Amino acid sequence: MMETPNLGWQFYKNLYKTQDSNFSFDFLKQNPESKEEKVKKEQILKANATVLKERSQEFFDKKLEEYKPDSFFKNEAATNSFELTTTYPGLLCGVGYSHGISSEADFKAGFYFDHTTGLPIVPGSSVKGVLRSAFPGYVGKEEDKKPSKEELKERYDFFRWLVVQTNLKISDPELKLPSFENDEDIDDLEAFIFEGEDADGNQISYYKRDRFFDAYPKESLAHNGCFLKNDYITPHINREKPEMSPFSNPTPLQFLKILPKVKFCFQFQLVEGGGLKANQKKLLFKEILCFTGIGAKTNVGYGQFEEGFAEVADSESQPSVKTHKTEATPYNGKIKVGEPFEAIVIDQSKKRVRSIIHSNEIELDMAGNCPENGAIALVKINSVNAKGVILQVGFVKQL
């Protein structure tokens, strides 16, 4: 029996409890016209904000170890698993759920919690969806439209690139993934993993298919063991005069997130099939998740994972690894999320790197591990603004 509070219940129910508190929904019944009514509504909103701030603190003070997540989420049916750690600024999952009232102190986006334990998790269906998004057949599934030949070619080439990146991290020759030179081989793998079909299109028994289980927060490696925190987006929106939006004051919108340096356990029941062994699929899945991220707002850096965080918060940098490259190769490719290029580390403590992009020398913030100053790293574009300016990159590996 759990002695810790159910955070899902707290987030969606107890946060708005009116009993024995100054919290009130009376303002929802009013359409204030007189000065007295407007003053009363402002007083109610102010009191509500005070209560919400106090209640929100309960999320930020909870330590992950108190919930003993392994005892609830470690799945005995899982034959393959791996652990990845969240990077800055954290992880969002379930923001599409309805949440929020007329109070600046409330969370304005939803969040996904396990119904029983109240812990934030990533559903197995979401993990499966993210992994499938890396395969060519994913294009057009939601919109039910046929992709162009150019789009399909890019998707197949992208998948092969992921295979190459996976193989670069594998030392055991027997675990190296095949090159997948034929598009049909990639289609067969996708059909086996996600549709449960063999190469002839026959359905495979559910118990002989690849299965995806919920990913759960296993351990907080920093923040004194806490794992949740608030964050804000500040859109500049002028609804009366949209053309003035860039010059309007920002509107802070608070939301809940999982902090960086929280270790997640991803679990699967993987079988040999589709051209890959079970362990090969696990390594490919890990590469996809580290590259694409998971959850909401991945285009601005949320939902990114990496391996190898130290188990101690604020630990000193690990011994540096000698590199064989001394200069970063200039990048002349497309400016879009996910594109890789080389950069040189100029400030390890602040995770700042410098690169030459389209003949312009620029400095960028980097998420993830950061090698020593002067080291050359392969990075990928995490976020780009509407003008095609790179806002943040993510660490891939040291060169």
The tokens describing 366, both together, are 């980097």
376 plus 279 within the same structural domain: no
244 plus 148 within the same structural domain: yes
**The Cα angle at residue 157 between residues 156 and 162, in degrees rounded to 5:** 95
Tell me whether residue 42 is in a domain. no
131 plus 241 within the same structural domain: yes
More confident residue, 32 or 100: 100
296 plus 348 within the same structural domain: no
For residue 369, give the CATH number of its domain: 2.40.50
126 plus 239 within the same structural domain: yes
235 plus 372 within the same structural domain: no
Domain that holds residue 105: 67-300
Per 3-state DSSP, what percentage of the chain is helix, strand, and coil (rounded to 5)?
A: 30, 20, 45
Q: Which long-range contacts (CB under 8 A, 24 or more apart) does 274-280 make?
A: 274/188, 274/189, 274/190, 274/191, 274/192, 274/193, 275/178, 275/180, 275/185, 275/188, 275/189, 275/192, 276/177, 276/178, 276/189, 277/175, 278/79, 278/80, 279/80, 279/175, 280/175, 280/177
> Which pLDDT score, from 0 to 100, does residue 37 have?
80
346 plus 279 within the same structural domain: no
Closest CA to 232 of 350, 105, 337: 105
> Which pLDDT score, from 0 to 100, does residue 74 have?
95
> What CA–CA distance (Å, rounded) separates 134 from 117?
31
Tell me whether residue 334 is in a domain. no
* Angular region, 313: left φ>0, alpha ψ -120 to 50, beta rest: beta
User: Tens digit of pLDDT for each residue in 49-88?
Assistant: 999 999 999 999 999 999 999 999 999 999 999 999 999 8
200 plus 83 within the same structural domain: yes
Tell me whether residue 194 is in a domain. yes
Tell me whether residue 195 is in a domain. yes
Among 300, 329, 350, the domain-final residue is 300
Among 275, 300, 325, the domain-final residue is 300
User: Tens digit of pLDDT for each residue in 141-155?
Assistant: 555 667 788 889 999
> Which pLDDT score, from 0 to 100, does residue 2 have?
55
Backbone angles phi, psi at 344, to 5 degrees: -110, 135
> What CA–CA distance (Å, rounded) separates 289 from 29?
47
271 plus 355 within the same structural domain: no
Tell me whether residue 97 is in a domain. yes
As a whole number, the mean pLDDT across the chain is 87
The pLDDT of residue 181 is above 70: yes
Among 300, 323, 354, the domain-final residue is 300
394 plus 275 within the same structural domain: no
286 plus 178 within the same structural domain: yes
Closest CA to 338 of 398, 282, 393, 399: 393
Exposure on the CB side of residue 162, measured as CA atoms within 13 A: 26
The tokens describing 156, both together, are 């197949």
Tell me whether residue 259 is in a domain. yes
Tell me whether residue 33 is in a domain. no
pTM of the predicted structure, to 2 decimals: 0.74
107 plus 245 within the same structural domain: yes
Tell me whether residue 366 is in a domain. yes
Beta bridge partners of 376: 344
CB neighbour list of residue 362: distance below 8 Å, 6 or more residues apart: 354, 355, 356, 390
> What CA–CA distance (Å, rounded) separates 397 from 116?
38
Q: What total number of domains does the chain contain?
A: 2
Work out whether the CA dihedral 114, 117, 121, 124 comes out positive or negative: negative
